A and B are shown apart, each in its own frame.
Chain A
């Protein structure tokens, strides 16, 4: 059923855009107009698949991280992963190469560095509960990397590199090519695959350390595997899409609300919902206005409104004493 909805949204999205006229391309045009076929095959298809994967990966990473860190307010962005990826991608664009694989590897490296930094810092803070410490260190590490990105922007050539960097930071899939997608695909599939096969186990990783240990979890190893897989996938996609916020925070909440707390159901559900959400948001991004609206702006706006709704309707429960 959910897969059918994903398929339906995917098929419909192929026809949504602003060519030859706003909003909808009739099937007849696709059959008769060679330019329309080129547009769908070369631009819209890779873009759509990337949107689907992006939503799935961010939601899977969000669910996994919320459970591993025992904190329903965690999302990749909070722990510096997104800013780390942005920094890594910018470093590569400016100083190394614009080859998609190198950009993605650099983004992945700095994401993992940011995550490790945020986690380490949270263990060194001597006050506050676990939730507070983690959020504080995530904010600090994010700020460091975003300052780093600022420096790189300052150093960038204002005519060639800066506009590209700036628009990229706002997040968008307008320039995705098959080649970009091809390089991100292995990371994305690995992240989605590992999260999917560990969907029941991740419940165990959300328990107290002593309990999870007594139930046979090798906590360090299992958490690391899941984190590396989902963070690499997030970074690889962020490297081609720019920073897309809020999906990783809000979609896991909605999935838990509908399908219950156990990640056995809520994690695959979050992946499908995330895929649908990000495809629809991207449809809006390329059709609402004559120019492209950066996807990151749209997901933030919609995500924030949903978040406010969930908060006031008690959909999000945080236990402040932890």
Chain B
């Protein structure tokens, strides 16, 4: 569905290399979690998967064709993005904002029609935020904002979903809501890729794990293959334990406190 082969990337020829010789196949209809320390290239990788950044070397594939073989609009009907943070300079209502998800299905001079409005309403309902429709986007909470982003991707109707740290800054209830939605989407046939700093959130939602370090993939595979004390302690350079609690895998810092 989505794969990368021999990717090298740097933002500027004089800047340090961000990704080097990176190859990855994202399993279809699953949730993939990309983990790794700050500055290791997770968001860059996500932007390459989106087609926003073009690698210096290597090829990127989506649904059997290379990214560059799609038009901008075709690609945006296949892959949706939930950004980590989005500053919105104008106070759109939640509904107006979510409706923008229909853009890939309209040409630049077209207005959304009845069908587009219906799809936007359905998306708000699926994300559980229909009651927020008339509220100004600037005046809702961080958790609600993230649900609004997700509703916009539903409106976009893509089968591939990229999420940049979707649970960062959210309380436990909102984390749970977002991750449950992701799991449901994968069960319904969507492919999701999320970056995260929280291994427990990744374990809860994901089926496939990619652990990155210094612009390369350190480990990939199932939870047992990737989420090991050796892998995590080595990469994060801090003692980390992995324990089973009531059948669930949990990542715990070896000193004090729970990660």
Contacts of A203 in B (CB 8 A): 90, 92, 96, 100
Contact, CB under 8 Å: B90 / A215: no
Known: A67-B90, A201-B108, A203-B92. A214 touches B80 (CB 8 A): yes
Known: A198-B108, A215-B103, A216-B103. A322 touches B73 (CB 8 A): no
Contact, CB under 8 Å: B90 / A72: yes
Does A83 lie at the interface of the complex (its beta carbon under 8 Å from any beta carbon of B)? no
**Choice from B77, B79, B80, B87 contacting A319 with Cβ under 8 Å:** B87
114-163 of chain A: CB within 8 A of chain B: none
Contact, CB under 8 Å: A317 / B72: no
Does B104 lie at the interface of the complex (its beta carbon under 8 Å from any beta carbon of A)? yes
Q: Is the interface of A mostly helix, strand, loop or mixed?
A: loop
Known: A198-B108, A210-B47, A217-B72. A72 touches B89 (CB 8 A): yes
Known: A201-B108, A207-B88. A216 touches B93 (CB 8 A): no
Find the B residue at minimum CB distance from A262: B96
Contact, CB under 8 Å: B100 / A317: no
CB distance from B31 to the nearest CB of A (A): 19
Known: A211-B81, A215-B104, A260-B96. A322 touches B87 (CB 8 A): yes
CB distance from A228 to the nearest CB of B (A): 14
CB distance from B19 to the nearest CB of A (A): 17
Does B52 lie at the interface of the complex (its beta carbon under 8 Å from any beta carbon of A)? yes
Find the A residue at minimum CB distance from B43: A210
Contact, CB under 8 Å: A322 / B81: no
Contact, CB under 8 Å: A264 / B111: yes
Known: A210-B52, A214-B50. A222 touches B91 (CB 8 A): no
Contact, CB under 8 Å: B90 / A200: no
Does A278 lie at the interface of the complex (its beta carbon under 8 Å from any beta carbon of B)? no
Does B159 lie at the interface of the complex (its beta carbon under 8 Å from any beta carbon of A)? no
Does A18 lie at the interface of the complex (its beta carbon under 8 Å from any beta carbon of B)? no
Contacts of A204 in B (CB 8 A): 100, 103
Does B83 lie at the interface of the complex (its beta carbon under 8 Å from any beta carbon of A)? yes
Find the A residue at minimum CB distance from B95: A262
Contact, CB under 8 Å: A200 / B104: no
Does A213 lie at the interface of the complex (its beta carbon under 8 Å from any beta carbon of B)? yes
Find the A residue at minimum CB distance from B134: A260
Does B224 lie at the interface of the complex (its beta carbon under 8 Å from any beta carbon of A)? no
A interface bracket (residues with beta carbon within 8 Å of B) = 20 to 34
Contacts of A199 in B (CB 8 A): 111
Q: Which of the listed residues B47, B77, B89 has the most CB atoms from chain A within 10 Å of its own CB?
A: B89
Known: A210-B52, A214-B50. A317 touches B91 (CB 8 A): yes
**In the bound complex, how far is the Cα of B100 from the Cα of A256, in angstroms?**
18
Contacts of B81 in A (CB 8 A): 210-211, 214
Q: Which of the listed residues B51, B75, B88, B136 has the most CB atoms from chain A within 10 Å of its own CB?
A: B88
200-237 of chain A: CB within 8 A of chain B: 200-201, 203-204, 206-208, 210-211, 213-218, 222
Find the B residue at minimum CB distance from A318: B89
Contacts of A201 in B (CB 8 A): 103, 108-109
**In the bound complex, how far is the Cα of B100 from the Cα of A203, in angstroms?**
8
286-322 of chain A: CB within 8 A of chain B: 317, 319, 321-322
**In the bound complex, how far is the Cα of B73 from the Cα of A318, in angstroms?**
32
Contact, CB under 8 Å: A260 / B111: no
CB distance from A201 to the nearest CB of B (A): 5
Find the B residue at minimum CB distance from A215: B103
Does A261 lie at the interface of the complex (its beta carbon under 8 Å from any beta carbon of B)? yes
Does B101 lie at the interface of the complex (its beta carbon under 8 Å from any beta carbon of A)? yes
Contact, CB under 8 Å: B83 / A217: no
Does A92 lie at the interface of the complex (its beta carbon under 8 Å from any beta carbon of B)? no
**Choice from B93, B101, B110, B138 contacting A260 with Cβ under 8 Å:** B93
Contact, CB under 8 Å: B103 / A261: no
**Choice from B77, B86, B112, B156 contacting A207 with Cβ under 8 Å:** B86
**In the bound complex, how far is the Cα of B92 from the Cα of A70, in angstroms?**
13
CB distance from A206 to the nearest CB of B (A): 6
Contacts of B72 in A (CB 8 A): 213, 216-218
Apart from A210-B83, A211-B83, A261-B92, what 20 extra A-B contacts exist at CB < 8 Å?
A: A70-B87, A197-B109, A200-B111, A201-B109, A203-B92, A206-B90, A207-B88, A214-B76, A214-B81, A214-B162, A215-B76, A215-B103, A215-B104, A215-B156, A216-B75, A216-B104, A217-B72, A256-B91, A262-B92, A262-B93
- 7 closest cross-chain pairs (CB), A and B: A216-B76, A216-B104, A214-B81, A261-B90, A262-B96, A215-B103, A197-B109
Q: Can you list 30 A-B pairs with a CB-CB distance of less than 8 A?
A: A67-B90, A70-B89, A198-B109, A200-B110, A203-B96, A203-B100, A206-B89, A210-B50, A210-B52, A211-B83, A213-B51, A213-B72, A213-B76, A214-B50, A215-B76, A215-B103, A215-B156, A216-B72, A216-B75, A216-B104, A217-B103, A256-B91, A262-B92, A262-B93, A264-B96, A264-B111, A317-B91, A319-B87, A321-B87, A322-B89
